[in-house]
Amino acid sequence: MGTLFVISGPAGVGKGTLVNLLIEDDKSLALSVSCTTRSPRVGEVNGKSYFFISKEEFLQRKEEGDFLEWDEHFGNYYGTPKSFVLEQLKTHSVILEIDVKGAAEVREALKGKGVKPVLIMIAPPSEEILEKRLSGRASESEEEILNRLKRAEYELSKKDEYDYTVVNDDLNEAKETLKKIIETEKSKRRF
């Protein structure tokens, strides 16, 4: 059985960039793809970035207990498909990239199943740099960027609940730190 890694951090901090690099380097890691009701951004691929589904389908699957956790952000629903995560964990270590509330719910939901996730917070070097990265991504409107920055403070305030905090300043350094954490935790086989 693999180890479950939960990666959180404010929007624009570089979670997606880092996770993609980790997955490329380590084929034994599986990435959980969340479902969302928001529209795809330019370059996002259905089934890779997210499963883009309708609100109706989301609500139906939620009723059927298909999500390990779910939440609403900025007017859209996001959820982690339960069956995919549990199936993958039988043979792989799995990475979930979800917000702080989702992370706490996953930890609770898996307690009864004997799975103890490793929680990793990705933090920005400064608020200014986070703002620059969010604007630089050029994928959200001014209003959406402001909403995400407001939420950032809350996300970072939960870092004491995490096993590790990694500051994403130099991308390569942050990636190497994450790789070391993953190797250490995999070898502890805490599940």
Among 4, 6, 13, 98, binds ligand ADP (CB under 6 A): 13
Among 14, 102, 117, 124, binds ligand 5GP (CB under 6 A): 102
List the structure tokens of 5: 């890694």
Residue type, 109: A
The reply to whether 137 sits near ligand ADP by the rule CB under 6 A is yes
> In the complex with ligand 5GP, which residue's Cβ is closer, 66 or 99?
99
Binds 73: which of ligand 5GP, ligand ADP, none (CB < 5-8 Å by kind):
ligand 5GP
The interface mask with ligand 5GP, positions 10-49, x = CB under 6 A, is -x----------------------x---x-----------
Minimum distance, C-beta of residue 129 to ligand ADP, in the bound complex (Å): 8
What CA–CA distance (Å, rounded) separates 43 from 110?
33
Residues whose CB falls within 8 Å of the CB of residue 80, separated by 6 or more in sequence, listed in order: 32, 34, 67, 68, 69, 70, 96, 98, 102, 106
Minimum distance, C-beta of residue 140 to ligand ADP, in the bound complex (Å): 10
Closest by Cα among 141, 135, 191, 183 to 28: 183
Number of H helices, E strands in the chain: 7, 9
What CA–CA distance (Å, rounded) separates 4 from 25?
17
Minimum distance, C-beta of residue 92 to ligand 5GP, in the bound complex (Å): 18
174: exposed, middle or buried (C-beta count within 10 Å: 0-12, 13-18, 19+)? buried
Binds 34: which of ligand ADP, ligand 5GP, none (CB < 5-8 Å by kind):
ligand 5GP
For the beta carbon of residue 22, count every other beta carbon within 10 angstroms.
Answer: 18
Among 20-28, 94-102, 130-138, 167-175, which window interacts with ligand 5GP (CB under 6 A)? 94-102
Could you list the residues that contact ligand ADP (CB under 6 A)? 9, 11-17, 133, 136-137, 168, 171, 174
